[in-house]
């Protein structure tokens, strides 16, 4: 005989609605009631088929996350927060790693749609994403403008780029290198491009010349490291502004080039994930408000799902984290 939730309700001495609420992790349920329902389910060995429920409810409780990498501290912290916030709201997370590959991203979007996800949070950095958007799929984008209709969440990248540039200028740096994806600007509208604008503006006001190392964000750490090392060897740079991964590569390359930090070279990163600051407390960096980015992405996605109004938020506050004496 197939067990139903009525059997669970009967054994637990609660209403079938209460059983549903426990199963859906929605609404207020006292700890005692929850426990009674769970005990009854365990005693009976009742595991309702969520797939069948999703189909009949037309509500999958699934959210997809598409990220270009799962081993970058910023992205992992973001995923960790998104998972925590969404799972407390009763959602389950399907995770997709596109490895910076456009085709994989496209396939994942389609797979997620087929799996009836209620929404997708995407931290994509590929071109032409707009070309293969799926109608009726709720999407929130982190850090990247995809088209006019998809909301974007990001920190205040201009303020971050400005603060980092000022920090180097105030310390007397004269030859400040900006490392980032510059030519890519044409194709991919990253909010992070505003960092470059802020750098150019600051440099100009300070009467300095911009120096850039155009580097695609999808290349490996080893490639970054080699490109940065070559640049440090060939040009007398005294300040560097970059994302954390490139900033760390710069610090490691400087060591190889026998440049001493901070006397000969000062570095400011961008991201400031918890793990990075714990492990490398010497790194000076612009901290992104990663928890707030996650909270806002979820709020907006839920607003979309519920048919409520929403808008992009691209000015979440950044701050300067000053590493101890800015050197290892």
CB of residue 214 to a copy of itself, shortest distance in Å? 21
CB of residue 53 to a copy of itself, shortest distance in Å? 8
> Closer CB to a copy of itself, residue 1 or residue 52?
52
> Closer CB to a copy of itself, residue 14 or residue 313?
14
> Helix 5-12 vs helix 31-44: angle between axes, to the nearest 10 degrees?
120
Point out which residues bind a copy of itself (CB under 8 A). Answer: 23, 38, 41-42, 45, 47-52, 54-55, 60, 69-73, 76-77, 79-80, 83-84, 87, 92-97, 99, 110-111, 113-116, 132, 134-135, 221-222, 225, 248-249, 252, 273-276, 278-282, 328
> Closer CB to a copy of itself, residue 10 or residue 84?
84
Q: Could you tell me the CA-to-CA distances from 321 to 65, 138, 149, 194, 282 in Å, in that order?
A: 29, 35, 34, 20, 10
Specify whether the CB–CB gap between 115 and 62 falls below 8 A.
Answer: yes
CB of residue 101 to a copy of itself, shortest distance in Å? 11
CB of residue 70 to a copy of itself, shortest distance in Å? 4
CB of residue 2 to a copy of itself, shortest distance in Å? 15
> Closer CB to a copy of itself, residue 50 or residue 189?
50
> Closer CB to a copy of itself, residue 169 or residue 242?
242
* Residues composing the chain: 328
């Amino acid at each position: 005989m197939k067990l139903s939730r009525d059997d669970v309700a009967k054994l637990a001495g609660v209403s079938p609605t209460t059983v549903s609420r426990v199963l859906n992790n929605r609404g207020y349920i006292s700890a005692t009631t929850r426990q009674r329902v769970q005990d009854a389910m365990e005693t009976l060995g009742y595991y309702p088929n969520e797939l069948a429920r999703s189909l009949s409810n037309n509500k999958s409780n699934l959210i997809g996350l598409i990220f270009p990498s799962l081993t970058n501290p910023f992205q992992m912290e973001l995923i960790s927060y998104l998972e925590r916030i969404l799972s407390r709201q009763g959602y389950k997370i399907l995770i997709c790693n596109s490895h910076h590959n456009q085709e994989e991203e496209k396939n994942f979007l389609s797979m997620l749609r087929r799996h009836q996800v209620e929404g997708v949070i995407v931290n994509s950095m590929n071109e032409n994403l707009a070309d293969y958007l799926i109608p009726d799929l709720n999407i929130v984008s982190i850090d990247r403008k995809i088209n006019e209709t998809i909301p974007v969440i990001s920190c205040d990248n201009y303020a971050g780029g400005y603060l980092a540039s000022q920090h180097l200028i105030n310390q007397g740096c004269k030859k400040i290198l900006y490392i980032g994806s510059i030519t890519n600007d044409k194709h991919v509208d990253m909010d992070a491009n505003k960092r470059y604008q802020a750098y150019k503006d600051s440099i100009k006001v300070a009467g300095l010349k911009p120096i850039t190392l155009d580097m695609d964000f999808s290349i490996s750490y080893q490639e970054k490291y080699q490109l940065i090392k070559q640049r440090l060897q060939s040009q007398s740079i005294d300040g560097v502004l970059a994302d954390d991964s490139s900033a760390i590569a710069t610090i490691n390359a400087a060591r190889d080039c026998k440049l001493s930090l901070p006397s000969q070279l000062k570095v400011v990163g961008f991201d400031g994930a918890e793990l990075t600051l714990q492990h490398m407390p010497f790194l000076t960096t612009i901290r992104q408000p990663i928890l707030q980015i996650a909270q806002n992405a979820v709020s907006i996605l839920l607003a979309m799902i519920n048919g409520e109004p929403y808008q992009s938020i691209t000015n979440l506050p950044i701050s300067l984290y000053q590493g101890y004496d800015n050197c290892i």
